[in-house]
Amino acid sequence: MLFSDLDHWNSSLQNTETPFKLHLNPHNTDVDGQEQQGFILRKIMLELTEEASSSAAQPRPLRAMMIKDPQELRNLLKHISRHVGREDLIILVPTITPRIADDLRRNRIMFADERGNAFVAWPGVYIDIRGRIGNTETLRRNDRPDAGVSKAPRTASLFTPRRAQVSALLLSRPELLNKSVRDIARESGVSVGTAKQTLDLLREAGYLRVSSPGHYRMENVESFLDAWAHAYPTGLGTSQQIFRGTGGIDRLRSLEPLGWISGEQAVPELVQGGNTAHLYVDGVEESRKIIGAARLRQDDHGEVMIRSSFWLPLMNHQAEKNETLRSSKVESVFELWPRAPRAVIYADLLSVNDPRLAEIAGKIKEELINGQF
């Protein structure tokens, strides 16, 4: 049966550049692979490809629910709901609708389809690929050596570093959706072509819709924000990193602002007493001044992160000139520093993996969803 054949699935995953592959679980001693109620369960191992993995990411044992007919997936949702909260189930189905994908994602149930849409998540791993709408039969036909036509274009991830820059600014400043593509590109620090492609991909993924010619309206904001924020630390965040280390951030009290502040230090009105700091600067020279003033020592697990900024400097926006920590009326080492874009603050709070900061991140998320900033 083709739909339960791992070679078939690995071929589809490779053709759509989905960053993982599947193997039979060598430690499986149970009998599996028997068809029941329209699906087959098989014990497998999910292995991340080299581009997506780290030294800590080991193959993950999972139970694959392989469904032949996409129409059966909705009928099986009640059965699948018994697996809510478990991290050992992945659904494999030829195609999956955005609505069902959202339901599964919300319940933390992993899935993949032949178009390259996928959701895979466990501690330290988060892959969320949406908006791929290619015809699977066409993809398979075009993969044949004698097809006589070029291979169908592969849909790229929504949150490559440059595209993630555009998303960060749209989430933080949704009024940009009423600006021209050129303006969005300039504010996000990307080319006009990248900005246009990102808007198109976001629309295909169901995060934007055209409200009038040249203007967009954001939809499914919570899903959009969560997908972007979870991809940020290992995507755009990593690409912008200049330094990570440990030291005394209190020594920066007398230092003039050299960039933007994010994470918990950006919201002293909501949380105090923490020692993590996320700083964004225009260049290496500013980071050197910070490292010297705070006497920071390099540490791959340090609490101080310095990254390059990617947005148009906030001081260029009259409305944001006073968006410094002084406006919070709470004493802070960074009270004269402007804040990073709100979506970046949210992502940095989540990245610390501290329950104390997760609660604060929830408040920032509510503000972003409701536009209260």
Structural domain boundaries, residue 17: 2-142
In this predicted model, what pLDDT tens digit does every residue of 305-343 receive, in sequence order? Answer: 999 999 987 544 333 434 544 444 456 788 889 999 999
Of 25 and 62, the one with more pLDDT: 62
Q: Is pLDDT at 1 greater than 50 in this prediction?
A: no
Asked which of 1-5, 272-276, 343-347 is least confident by mean pLDDT, the reply is 1-5
The pair of three-digit structure tokens given for residue 284, joined into one six-digit string: 């290496």
Domain-embedded: residue 306: yes
Domain-embedded: residue 264: yes
Q: Are residue 6 and residue 138 in the same domain, yes or no? A: yes
In this predicted model, what pLDDT tens digit does every residue of 72-98 receive, in sequence order? Answer: 887 777 666 665 446 689 999 999 888
Q: Are residue 210 and residue 330 in the same domain, yes or no? A: no
Domain-embedded: residue 155: no
Domain-embedded: residue 220: yes
Q: What is the pLDDT of residue 126?
A: 75
Q: Are residue 248 and residue 356 in the same domain, yes or no? A: yes
Q: Are residue 322 and residue 199 in the same domain, yes or no? A: no
d(CA 75, CA 355): 37
Domain-embedded: residue 147: no
Q: Are residue 194 and residue 326 in the same domain, yes or no? A: no
Residue-wise DSSP of 121-157? EETTEEEEE------HHHHHHHTSTT--SPPPPPPPP
Q: Is pLDDT at 14 greater than 70 in this prediction?
A: yes
Q: Are residue 83 and residue 135 in the same domain, yes or no? A: yes
Query: Closest Cα to residue 142, out of 226, 16, 234, 240?
Result: 16
Q: Of 109, 142, 175, which one is at a domain's C-terminal end?
A: 142
Spatial CB neighbours of 11, under 8 Å, sequence gap ≥ 6: 143
Q: How far is CA 334 from CA 246, 252, 295, 314, 318, in A?
A: 17, 8, 17, 16, 20
Q: Are residue 135 and residue 15 in the same domain, yes or no? A: yes
User: What is the number of domains present in the chain?
Assistant: 3
| Residue owning tokens 């509510």 | 366
Residue-wise DSSP of 242-309? EEEEES-GGGGGGSPP-EEEEGGGG-TTT--S---EEEEESSHHHHHHHHHHHT-EE-TT-SEEEEE-
Q: Are residue 168 and residue 132 in the same domain, yes or no? A: no
Q: Are residue 11 and residue 133 in the same domain, yes or no? A: yes
Q: Of 231, 258, 290, which one is at a domain's C-terminal end?
A: 231
